[in-house]
Structure 1
């Protein structure tokens, strides 16, 4: 199906692959610039049309094409329209790094028309939202402000004033319910925007402040006014012009709420009134000022991610013993070292609440994440963790031809952890305590005492599925990432959210903590690697996109080199300081799902959709071994601490233990009936966790 791009065509949408439009007879453009395939007209105006399209060079991802085709040419208004259209392209290019601003994909001329291609934001505008439902609650309005004010701060820091913030120019993004600011066609740089322009009126009546409508002047506080007026509309359900008395020269929105029998917190009312004052000098001057006052207001219940009852002095690790394991070359009852943890001396058992009722989910196929819900948390288990492991029958087995078992024992199932309501995608051991953290497409993180099998806490913070988790060497900090394009940093001791890192444009697929614990690397479906300073909560560096969607990232040396892999079937070794590629590893014939580096940083293992694990020499880039045996794609791989063995997990549901020196299979475990997504190895090397689409985590111990 191809849509007609003739701006005068009366019926451009057709279910046809013909070379000419059946309505107007014009030739049909199968692809603009050889890559953008227009499918459907979705909007039109005086200066052109907007089309829904697919980008063939980005795996047919959805995008929006804006076509500039005004009805009249050569006039003063036409020249102004050209200027605004080009200006929107420039602004999107400058601001598109922010996750709540559409990304500019292309800007070009073809067949005498100008085209602007941008990221498609699926969702409803706030104008559509307020027309279809009741007015906003106080909590919803505060959340909107907390989501949008950082966006305003960002564009103002880049010297841009939007000048047309209205409910129609804010889209509630469907995938994560975040508001996205659109339509930068009338945005101006500070130097231009504050200049007097006789006869210029840019903005929308009711939402634009008086200085903008009278003289065309605009300031950062002008955008704050427009956002405030938008909030009044959403809060009352009435347009701003119906809430202002020109005779009295004041807003009447609070009287309107009182007539409806509604009230809001006086502090929030004061913030809204200060945002919408007529005089520029009496208004908030920066978005940061508004946000600061907003965050001083009393917290509303349910707005803080984390687990409940994490009061000062409480600590998750109270009463937990260090791991006691026996294994090859180790005496029974080996105690792992511990480090001091915050507030450990004064800590008490965490207060807990019952587990929420399980939500049924699909049995097969990657489930679609539920719409974002208010952030909640539960602490399901109040009983103190016991040291006695839950007994279970061993299910380890050896596949025919898999090689001899290691002398003296094998891997046996000792624990099955249940509770997640969807695929378990990731798991990580705390290196200092018997704690395991798992993440799932049910949008939660779960914290377990893996020795007893007790679920200690469930953390709800991500708006969509969790893809990866990491715990620092001290066992105090937990980092998670997910399909909501965010990275969250938690205090593992008491469950408090320390920071939310935003910058990726799409799902964050993988994270890796540096050796210092302060540097974090992240990989995303947006094709970028990002480096974050965790102590400051800031983006340190973005490594250029080369491979399309990325699936995995790992540190190759102490905070100096990274390895990444993704959909282009290759692995890249990066110099972190120069952001340059040192080596490219070529050999896989399908997507690279995960990479792992040996403890001595000499070897790298890669798991691929081509059903193989490959072993590489990191120093030379040479392919050393191709490990074959899995019957479906290999999703995950990890080295054991000795570096002489590695374990892989596959869509075939099996775990395979390999000898990294010669590439032979040492043992095969029929682990899960559904695909296996992640393996994690405990610090002693005697316990392996496997996470699966069957919604469980299984623990395997060397016997």
Structure 2
């Protein structure tokens, strides 16, 4: 099939072999060797065609871009500017194999033409329609591939001004290759350079032209003053469209982007923060370069961890907690002791309390108050104690003359405001406490086995519990109303923890698995397999990372949003009973019944 290039032609399609259009009589072979096959798209000032170069024996495909004939003097000037601009930029940028090369640049029959390399593949808009919404891992890979390309464009002092799914093409896999070829760094191609703007040292005169697709365009670009950060904004809009499979027009309400509510599966807080920063309305509040975004992506997910400090307790460690300012580590032991450790300030632990004020049984659970002034402990002696860290003394015990529980206290959790404490016990109950009064106000009784673990969501709305009855339950706070039960574990659930955004609950079990549950729907998102019983689980507050400590002393690392296993470290010589992250997420602390507490540092990132 041949396609007539005369814009006025009413029936431009012609049979193969025609040299002249059978409708209007126009010559079909452009410049005597480019033959248009079919229309590909159009914009305000141009339209594009898939074509073949008849002068080359292999007859390779190419793209003809035809600029519309001007109707007014101003349109003629604008069309000429766009034509020359794109030709100059493609001639320079086309040196990169991920950008189409300029093959020819000419005027014929009062029309202007660019001939450029044909970039084979499907654009991301087509891929989104065919394959559905992208996963976090796909977005991460996409950003790692496209950002270096965008950096190349910007380093040539060019703003693209039309970043969107339709202008990003995925190169098809290499013939004879496998699916891994899709993850090559050069698999993405960037097209759509008719809107490019060169940055010069000359001051701008008059009003700038507003170019780009409105739903992807930053506010400063709409005002005619784009910057490199404008392309980064458009890239972020592209990402949230790929994640939600929803038009950007529907993802923004007023000045706020509300894309998370359209996700079919949560994304990590870390990736969300990067996208939110890219989507800031003020250009000054965004990343200013593609390299800045890449740097944050490289440190997003640490793979390697090194033990940088070890504290020897002298007794088997049952629990570990870290203060909100990350300056203090507290440990509880089977010798009924609470010890305080100060990373970087020595190896000896400071004991909290004495034989009169301390616990008379194993210290099973510890938690710091949000302001770091209080430490709360739970013990096999069935007591809950509140410690004033400023004075280093016991402030109060929770409850009255009677023990708060009829069995060992296995776990405690404090809500984000420090007002409500939840405690779980071998007596199969969970009790809720008012910290300011020291009074119990609810008892939760639906578990049929020992309560091994409790956690409160970062948003303070829910309490989760794991039990010897192999179930995980969710309870509403502060009412204590049971709202969900998750089943699927084959053995007791030893640890539960929420993701930083409260959207995912992880449960670790003696069936050697960590299960990931979507909180709102109760859907099982995935199951991570370890080498032994899971005794402790923790989410990183900053990275898409979850860790699990086992009975055999190993710690496993995964991306909870993709299920990818990142690392496995033989951390201790005996069971890992506790893993915690300080607020910055770049360190991790583990405690073990081998009597040691170890501080781990992430030593690299990336994928």
- Higher RCO, 1 or 2 (CA under 8 Å, sep at least 6)? 2
- TM-score (norm: length of structure 2): 0.48
Q: Max radius of gyration: which structure?
A: 2
- TM-score (norm: length of structure 1): 0.41
